[in-house]
Each structure stands twice: as C-alpha cells, then as structure tokens.
Structure 1
Amino acid sequence: MNETLVTVVGNVATEPETQVTATGVSVTRFRLATTTRRYDAERGAWTDGPTSFYTVRAWRALAGNIKESVCLGEPLVVQGRLRVRDEEVDGRRFVCAEIDAQSLGHDLSRGVARFTRANSNLPAPRPQSNAPAPPEPAAVP
C-alpha cells in the first residue's frame, strides 16, 4: 500500500512496442519525455528546462489499447505507479524511472480526440439527441 502514484504529462519519445509474456499477458512499453518550461525574466522569454524520460509499461487490455491509439510524438497524460531503480551497465551507474500505467490518455489541452469503446460486451452509451422524445402510445380503452 506504500506505492507512489504519479500523473505525468509529456510526449511519446519512442514508438510503443507490445510483447506477450510467457504466461500470455500483453505488455506495451514506450518512453515518455517531459520538459519543464520556465519564464526567463532576464531575457523576457520562455525557455526549456531539463527533459526527464520515463519508461511507461501497461498490461493486458490497456496495453492493447495503447498500441492501437498512441503514436510517436503525441502528447499524453499518464497515471500510474512510479518505480525508481539504480542500474549499472558497462560499469556506469544510472537511475531508471518507470511508470506502471493504470490509466492513460491524450492531452486534450493540446489537441482533440474521439473515443471508441474497445470492449463490445459493455453497454453502448445512450444516444444524445436534441430531438423531442417520441409521444407515448395512446391508451386503448
């Protein structure tokens, strides 16, 4: 229960790749880049700060939906569990930040999207209409 949940807004930095584990579970992985913007009063302009990269992993149905919906460069909002690990490769140590995604979507402050329900077993939403409701059938005496 001591998991760190985060919400990160950024851009897809690598094409999402999907694999199937030995137990038959789908997992999709990609890198998410997020860059801070700061106002530089001295220059009177906005400047980019450092970029942070996160490895995002999603499992099962979310993995398949990401593979069908997300492309390189798109702006996303990712929510999930943060895991930070120390790694060593070829004698060099570095820190690796990973997010196990629980939910994910396009950042609609930067564009538009249309939602398509993926599971046909769920009930379809009721149609929205501005037309008046049909009249009730007349009672037969």
Structure 2
Amino acid sequence: MNETMVTVVGNAATSADYRTTQSGVPAVRFRLAATVRRFDQASGSWTDAYTNFFTVWAWRQLAENVAASVSIGEPLLVRGRLRVREYEKEGARVLDPTIDATAVGHDLGWGTAAFHRMSRLKPSFADPGPPDAGRTDPRRTDPGGAAAGRAPDAGEAGERQPVLTPDLG
C-alpha cells in the first residue's frame, strides 16, 4: 500500500465539528494550523515563518473522543493518512491537504492532560470465582492497602460484584 502517513504538530484552528454519516458512523472535522518557526540569526530569537493548514477528519470512537477533548487553540499532534484534495472555487484552483487521522493527542510540551480510558465493556453478574483462585491480592503486599488503614473496597466484604465482559454485539 502506498499511502503517505504523516505526523503533524500544530494547534487546533477551529472547533471540532461533530456529525454522523448517513450510515450512522460518527465523524469529526477540524482545521489544524502548523506554523514553521525559524531562528533569526540577526535578532537571536525564534520567529514565525509561515503556517500550513490541514483539514483533519477522525472517524468512529476517535471522532467521539476528539469532539469531547479538543478545543480551539490547543496544541495537538495528529497522525494519519495525507490526501491532497483539489477542487475549483470561484474560478480558482484550490488545494486542500487533508489528514484522515489514526491518532490525535495533546502536545504535552505545552501543558498537562488527564487521560480517561473509554471502556466498551458491559457489566455482568457472572461469578468470578473465589478471590484467591490463581490470583494474588495486591492489597496483601501493597503498603497502602487494607493493612495500612485503607477502607475496604466494595466487594471485599463478600458481596457479589459485576464482572466486566466485552460487548461483542
């Protein structure tokens, strides 16, 4: 396969425009501005040279996560397939570099982030078996565990807890 994969570092230039396709697939689109910086020998400082703009598309779960996480101006890293769309607008030829994103993340060189894993697991009340059946209990070796005065988690007193199983349907 001869696809051009790129990683672009830039800032979100527009808000994430969330939509669903006619077949119900989530999609999000936003513009990414990547400004080239150069060191100016004469002044001894960094200056902005020019800015490239990319239209970024994300699909499915990535689209939902981008829509919930990305705001205008935030520094991002985007990885995906580069396509250059060509069309005519008002009699002029327009080239629109588009990235079909496979990954989008915040650039932690400019700030901090808190990651929240999305789970597609559904709870079921299957019996996982006795707590020590082939497993070790980390609370018994963890200095911050129950022996250190930590309140027991729900389920430690013997009540049944839901077991997470994958939603395959």
Q: Provide the TM-score with structure 2 as the length reference.
A: 0.72
1:114-125 to structure 2, matched below 5 A, reads 114-121=114-121
Query: Structure 1 segments of 4 or more deviating over 4 A?
Result: 132-135
Higher relative contact order (Cα pairs below 8 Å, separated by 6+ residues) = 1
Q: CA deviation at 1:121?
A: 1.6
The CA deviation string for residues 74-131 of structure 1, in whole angstroms up to 9 with x for no partner, is: 0000000000122210101121100000011100111100110112429xxxx9x962
Give the number of the structure whose residues are more often strand, by fraction. 1
Match of 1:59 in 2: 59
Q: Secondary structure at the match of 1:48?
A: strand
User: What value does the CA root-mean-square deviation take over the aligned residues?
Assistant: 2.1
**Unmatched tracts of structure 2, length 5 or more:** 123-137, 148-169
Q: Distance in 1 between matches of 2:103 and 2:119?
A: 16
The CA deviation string for residues 48-97 of structure 1, in whole angstroms up to 9 with x for no partner, is: 01000000000000000001111111000000000012221010112110
Q: Secondary structure at the match of 1:2?
A: coil
Q: CA deviation at 1:134?
A: 7.7
* Matching of residue 131 in structure 1 with residue 140 in structure 2: no
Q: CA deviation at 1:133?
A: 7.3
Percent of paired sites with the same residue: 51
Match of 1:18 in 2: 18
**Unmatched tracts of structure 1, length 5 or more:** 136-141
Q: Distance in 1 between matches of 2:24 and 2:145?
A: 48
Q: Provide the TM-score with structure 1 as the length reference.
A: 0.85
The alignment covers a number of residue pairs equal to 130
Q: CA deviation at 1:132?
A: 6.7
Q: CA deviation at 1:44?
A: 2.0
Match of 1:138 in 2: none
Q: Distance in 1 between matches of 2:105 and 2:61?
A: 14
Q: Which amino acid aligns with 2:143?
A: A
Q: Distance in 2 between matches of 1:51 and 1:78?
A: 16
The CA deviation string for residues 26-50 of structure 1, in whole angstroms up to 9 with x for no partner, is: 1000000010111110222211010
Q: Distance in 2 between matches of 1:7 and 1:99?
A: 9
